Each structure stands twice: as structure tokens, then as C-alpha cells.
Copies of this chain bind each other. A is one copy, B any other.
Amino acid sequence: MAMENLKTFLFSLCSAAAVGIVAVIFVLRWVLHYKEGLAWDGGLAEFNWHPVLMVTGFVFLQGMAIIVYRLPWTWTYSKVTMKFIHAGLHFVAFVLAVISTVAVFDFHNAAKIPNMYSLHSWLGLAILLLHCLQLVLGFGLFLLPVAPMAWRAAFMPLHVYTGHFVFTSVIAVTLMGITEKLIFGLRNPAYKDSPAEAVFVNVLGVLLVAFGALILWIATRASWKRPSDQLLHTLHTSGGGEDPKALSQLSEESAAGDVRRRSNKLEDQVH
């Protein structure tokens, strides 16, 4: 990466990390300072795990998982190591999202509030299931050494697109959740009277949008990819549909390289 390009990358990365960390601090301050704190008691303090774990796991960790291949200091690591870090971060994000979902079901059941009535809940559960499917398919296709190399090449653009779609949708669903909670949770003064909590949590929403925008900016700049992936990207995007044979050949070579590196790695670990 040229120096000028590297500087822009590092600036974008630091901005994304800073905005993401501030968002996590904001959601913690929201539930600890303005709300009932955190507990696992079936009450409002259990509900509060829902925004905390969604922002920390499904937004922040998932965002980091998406851009982990872009970090230039990891380009000397084997691709399979990075795949494990990518999958691991997504897995932790998924587990936190599941716990977060259990918290809100528990709270609803204890308070006799119906489950799954809102657009927020419909889209949220759909995206959680899609993220799970993406995890399973991603693991089976790109980490287990069983999938034919042509399948990997064919599936990669869909994997990337679905990943960006899930991440974007998670932020959109979080914004809907913030809206619901501010309407239901604020009485005297109500949301429309703009108490301090309302303004504070609106700012959290703005931070989440900024975080999403920065992560997707980093993820979609092709010149910030791992050098080995840039060649593949060029063929994907310029050759797609016109010369699938050349594409799949290159992908086979690249994937075969992965397998070789993986077996080297395994030998390293055994020896």
C-alpha cells in the first residue's frame, strides 16, 4: 500500500474504532446512568442487556470482523489464521446477539408483553438467522477443507454481499429498537419533550450510523484489501460473467494455496 493510501486507511480505521468505542460507552452510560442498570432478573435491568449486547457484539464486534482482513500488519499472517479471527469475531458477535435476544424474550414473558409483534422484532430475528446461516455456510465453504474450489470462488461475492447486508441491517434494526425504547421508556417528560436522555440516545443513534458508514467505506475500498485478494477481486469484478473459466482457475490456485498454507500451519502446530 502506498504511503498516502496507508495514511488515509489508518485515519479511517482509527475513526471507525473511536466512533465504535464511544458508541459502546454511550450505550453503557444509557443503561447505567439513565436506566435501571444491568441484572438478570426478568425485569427492566435484564432488558437493558439487549441494547448493550447488540451494540457491543452485533454492531461493534461484527464491524471489526468485517474489516479484519484490511489491517496491513496482518498481511504477513497466513490467510487461514485471518479467516479464523474473522469467523471467531463473528461467532462471538452471534453469541452475544443470542444472549441479547434471550434477555428481551425473558423480559417480555415476565411482563406479559407479547413477543415478535413489531417490525423491529421481525427484521431482527430474520437478520439473526441470516447471520447464523452465513456463519455455518462460511465455515463449511471457506474454513473446512472440503468444498470444491470452484464453489468457493462462486460463493465469495455472495458471502461478501450478505455480510455487508447483515451488518447494515443490524444497524437499521438497532435504530428502530432505540426509537421503540425512547417512546416506551420516557414518560413525563416524554420523548417529544426532548429530555436529556432522549438527546443522549439520539446521539448514540448518530454514532451507530457513522460507525456503519466508516466500516463499509473501509470494506469497499479495493486498494485496501490484502494484496493477495486484490488480484482475485480484479478478476471477480472485471471478468465476472465474461470469463468464468479464468476466474475459477485463479480461485482454485488461490484456494489451493490456502490449503497448502493450512496444512503447513497444521504441521507447524503438530511439530
A interface residues (Cβ-Cβ under 8 A, vs B): 1-2, 4-5, 113-114, 117-120, 122-123, 126, 157, 161, 165, 168-169, 171-173, 175-176, 178-180, 182-184, 191-194, 198, 201-202, 205-206, 209, 213, 216-217, 220-224, 230-231, 233-234, 236-242
Contact = CB atoms under 8 A, between A and B. Distances in A.
Contacts of A183: 180, 183-184
Contacts of A198: 117
Given A114-B194, A191-B117, A213-B165, A123 B237 contact: no
B5 A241 contact: yes
Given A5-B240, A114-B192, A171-B172, 16 more contacts: A2-B241, A117-B192, A117-B198, A119-B182, A126-B206, A161-B217, A165-B216, A168-B172, A179-B179, A179-B180, A223-B240, A223-B242, A233-B237, A233-B238, A234-B234, A237-B237
Given A161-B217, A209-B169, A202 B237 contact: no
Contacts of A239: 223
7 contacts: A168-B168, A171-B172, A175-B176, A176-B176, A179-B180, A222-B236, A231-B238
CB-based closest 6 A-B pairs: A223-B241, A222-B237, A5-B241, A223-B240, A172-B172, A234-B238
Decide if the interface of chain A is mainly helix, strand, loop or mixed.
Answer: helix
Given A122-B205, A165-B213, A194-B117, A175 B172 contact: yes
A240 B213 contact: no
Nearest to A199: B117
Given A4-B241, A180-B179, A202 B122 contact: yes
Contacts of A206: 119, 122-123, 126
Contact of A120 (B117, B179, B217, B241): B179
A5 to B, nearest CB: 4
A230 B240 CA distance: 10
Most B Cβ at <10 Å: residue of A180, A231, A236? A180
Nearest to A222: B237
Contact of A230 (B172, B180, B191, B238): B238
